[in-house]
Structure 1
Amino acid sequence: MTSKGSVTWTKENLQMLLAKLKASIPEAERCFVYSKAQKSVDWNKVAFPPFSPAECEEKWKQILQKMRKIRSLTELITEAEDVISNPNQNKKIHPELPKKPSPPNALYFEENFTRIQEQHPEMSAPLLFTFTTKMYKGLSEEEKAPYVEKFNLANKEYKKKMLAFRLRYDKLSSRDLKNYQNSDTSDEGEDADFLPHKPPRNSYNLFCKEQKGIMKGSSKRSCMAQWAQLWGKLDPSVKREYNTRCSAMRLEYAKKMKSYAKIRKRTSAFIPGEPKMPPQSSNMIFYHNQMALLKDQIPDRRQRLAKASRMFKKLSTKEKEHYKEIMHDSMKKYWRDLQKWFDMLSTAQQQEYLKQHPNKCPHLTQKLFDAEDLHHLPSDSEDEDIEDSSSDEEDNMEWNEDGNEEEEEEENITFVID
């Protein structure tokens, strides 16, 4: 950054300019709009060596050109200070971030916009979009099919690109991998190129996959019926062999997935008898109860959850406090039961459990470690094992499906100092 006299404007110079400019604003004018307040700025008082008053004023005008101005002068200066101190805070989203595909109705709009605009030149763009959306809704399922298929293909490609993007920039979490593992991607090569091939879920699936290569030409339904009959007639020793092979494949898959996400592998075996953690909020307690009560009335899980959510919002403050008390009582009982169970473990099991659940250390009475030892325990915030075992929270809230896909939001760009 240089002024007209070719003197470099450093970050410190810019911060000094903004500080002196802010200090020069009279108290009575601090809430004036910038256009009015800056007219009374005395640039002789703002200027500092090696810059003249004119150079300081010119530099401020350059900064001002790159900022939105529907604010007071004080607010503009504060934002400029923040951006100079932390230039990355207002950056655009990453340029390589994959773009979400357009939904089917938007694809229909893009394809037919020109034709409909010619037919209705009097309509504005928003009205055209509304009109086209209604047209799309009026289409038959057969007419919608090409757009839906196009969207599904684009969406599948988008998810693969997002996994690749997060992997490339070290933003791939255990949740991403679990979603990938639990997804409906086929075992026949639809996996992302950079991820290991997904193995069959169990020994029966492995058997069916092998049979699929043998039985060709038959319908899927008839094949599945034949596979079920063949599997039922297999000798137990053969089934055990399939089970062993499947376990080995899944173990190898888990190791490879761990290397991609840098997930800390939990090597200890599951310790039976551990109490299950209850829901940790009052609304979750309410949802849990209502999901069970509404199961027969509303079979669809998502609709049932939406109904429970609406019901909770209508509760009075007193009723919500009641559920909060239930939640606190449940958690107290959980910690008491966990302590009893923990006391029954061997020393080695206690050590291993605390290593895997350091967040529970403050709640458990134990005399195994000095305080210094606990500092070396890994954080529970680290990524979890990617095997099929579910967490307490997942078990308690099995109806809470994957509805929270992360979305990157594009922030407003105020200005960037060149």
Structure 2
Amino acid sequence: MVSTKKRPAADVTDIDQLPLKKSKTEVSAGSSKQVSSKKSKNLSKIDSSLTAKHEEVHVPTNDDIPDWPEVDLVELMKRIEANIPQKDNLRYDSRAEKLNWEEISFGNYSATDCKEMWMRIQKRVRRFRLLKEVLEDAKLWVSKPWTNFYHSQKLNRHPNLPKRPLSTYMIFYMEKKDKVSKENPGMNMTAVSKCISEMYKNLPEKKKQKYVAMAAAQRKEYEEKMKLFNQAHPELASKVSKSKEPKQTMEIGPRKPMTPFKLFLMDKMNNHKNDSDFDRHAFTEKYKKQWRDMSDKKKVIWINWAMEEESKYQEELKDYMTENPDFAPAPVKTVLTKEEKNLVERVAGKPEKPPNSGYSLFSRIMLMSAEMKHIASKERMAEISRLWKSFSKEEKNSYQEQVNHMLDQYKLEYATYLESLPEDKRQEELLSNHPKRKLKVDKESKPKPTKKKKEVKDVQAQQPSDLFEGEPEPPPVNALQLFMKTFTSEAKNASRESEARRSWQMLPDSEKIRYRKKLHEIKQKYIEDYEKFLKSLTQEQLKEYSLQKNRKALGGSEGSDSDSATSRQESDSEHSLSDSDSDSDSSDSENSKNNSSSSKSSDSE
């Protein structure tokens, strides 16, 4: 018989104290409760902090309460209302920023005070809209349901309003846009627009008339449709009539001349425009390189053509302005660059002007030498000056002799060049070599003592006894010297000189202008006489004349230090340029003389 032992009954209290194994669901539920409790605690903390901050911001303080009298506050609002535009469509805060607070300010309140007060007021009033207020706008919208407040004026146009006609250029653009884009697949729209713009500019007038006629037809059709629209919608007629007229893209007046390169490019493009593989950008770059590498002889052909077109344009412009007195032409730049002008003159036989001194010749030679390329550009002239100063007097004279020979040769070649020119071109060439300077009227009454001595020496140096046989007497350098010459023909002592200068300073501006005009006439006559004098000389006389001028220049500079000659020449030229009584044409006769003699060459050594 198997004996069975019964387990002792466990106490209830012991069972409750035993650790129980929890199920997975119970564990997950418990953990989620803990997480949610933590989140709720954090959220409650955040809410409490935000509430505290919110309460801190909106707690009214004495500073926020407007302290102006009620009368002043009412006046402020009246002034703000008066400054709001009639058709205001901005937010209240944006409009407040754009108001002219200087106009709103009144009494003892500045613009800043008024603006700050309004900012404090608007914080205390309602700034949102009620449905009733929105309905008021909706009632107005019913009469024009095609509009949208948040759309631009262009999108809010009436659906039946006729579209504006295209301009002449836009018709041409719309016709060529797809074709140009197809021929140049990699080209962006900006480049396409530029390409079509160039095509339109180069379009002949006969072909352009086709697009002008199309634009006129569209304009006529638009006007007819507008009449019908205004009849159907008379309330919109006034608004439409106030709109701007389409801009006129057609050029008024004669066609402007083109530069030599543009003429060359247009000619080449016309030869390839019908090619299937035509790429305007590639062809332009190709012919730019061809133009740069072109010989001067071939380039002159296009330059002459451009000059002819420019002359033709000037004549057409005069005729057009005669027929249309109200026409104001836009300023047009010359079609030739400085290099192209020099090229034309060089091909026409104008000789290149040589250096005006031995130092200038030496500088030109050294700047082209290989050894100077290793020296910094800013230090080259200083190095050249140092080398020049280290030369002996004989070495400097050798350079000066070369310059004298070059000047003699230049004078002969320049005289031959002048003979080959027509009379009008000859006068133009002579005048172009005389630089003009603006008058400084405000400094006329303050001549410097150092300049007075220089002027006295100039007057004494220009005596008829020093002139070559047949050479015309040089005119006075400026209006002051002309006045001094007429004031006294025997101005031998310094007191008479100073008296003449005081009289000049006391002259009214009208009298000074009269002397300047008279001096200009004297100088023009001197230029003509001097030109005749040079033409009358034989080659031997011309050499003798040049030697005489050189001897005078060298004789006047004996005993001077050769190293400081250059700086002295520059100082003298600065005095003459800044002379308070100088005339705008004061250098005319001297420059004409320099082109035909070498008297200045020795001074600038």
Q: TM-score, normalised by structure 2?
A: 0.20
Q: TM-score, normalised by structure 1?
A: 0.26
Which structure shows the bigger proportion of residues in helix conformation?
2
Larger relative contact order (CA 8 Å, sep ≥ 6): 1
